[in-house]
Structure 1
Amino acid sequence: MTYEVQFKPKAIKDLQSLPPDIQSLVLKKIEAMRDNLQGNIKRLTNFTPEYRLRVGDYRVLFEIEEQTLIIYRIKHRKNAYQ
């Protein structure tokens, strides 16, 4: 199953604040996630959004709505769950 990716404004801002090498790595992992949710994905308990993608020390927080992956935040792991 192939998903469409939608970025929220805060996720775009988070992505732009990352160093260029990390930006490209995160985008590459998000692109891989579009196909059958490949990658280091985990469902979070008692947290919104419901899922996270691990990319090194960074976390991509997202939800799945039908055929769409909605990216909410891209944060360093020490700040991701606050």
Structure 2
Amino acid sequence: MFKIEYSRKSLKAMRKMPRNTMQTIRSKIEKLAEDPYHPNNNVIQLTGCEDYRMRVGDWRVIYSLRDDVLTIEVLKIKPRGDAYQ
């Protein structure tokens, strides 16, 4: 099981979004922490960097995965149109 760390930006985004969306994203992140390499997680590595993105409906969770310390650092949570800027 991987440890989950949230950046300030991601926590701020979660506070601003609707409660049901926040709960869905949180449960997906918890499933990701159980097995980040499971094919049903809908995860793709971003081009040009070592970060990953997970699709949750119209939202994107951008995170970095550190295998050496078993940590997932959630960097950003944004709507699809804003996530890659």
Fold agreement, TM-score > 0.5: yes
Say how many residue pairs are matched: 80
Unaligned ranges ≥5, structure 1 = none
The CA RMSD over aligned residues, in Å, is: 1.1
Instruction: Quote the sequence identity (%).
Output: 30
- Mapped partners of 2:51, 2:23: distance in 1: 24
Partner of 1:74, secondary structure, is: strand
Q: Which segments of structure 1 move beyond 6 Å, counting only runs of 4 or more?
A: none
Q: Secondary structure at the match of 2:20?
A: helix
Flag the structure with higher helix content.
2
Q: What residue number does 1:41 align with?
A: 43
- The residue number in structure 2 matching 1:26 is 25
Question: For 1:34, what is the secondary structure of its paired residue?
Answer: helix
| Alpha-carbon distance, 1:36 to partner | 1.3
Which residue is equivalent to 2:14?
15
Residue 75, structure 1, aligned to residue 52, structure 2: no
CA distance in 2: counterparts of 1:76 and 1:55, whole angstroms: 9
> What runs of 5+ residues in structure 2 fail to find an aligned partner?
none
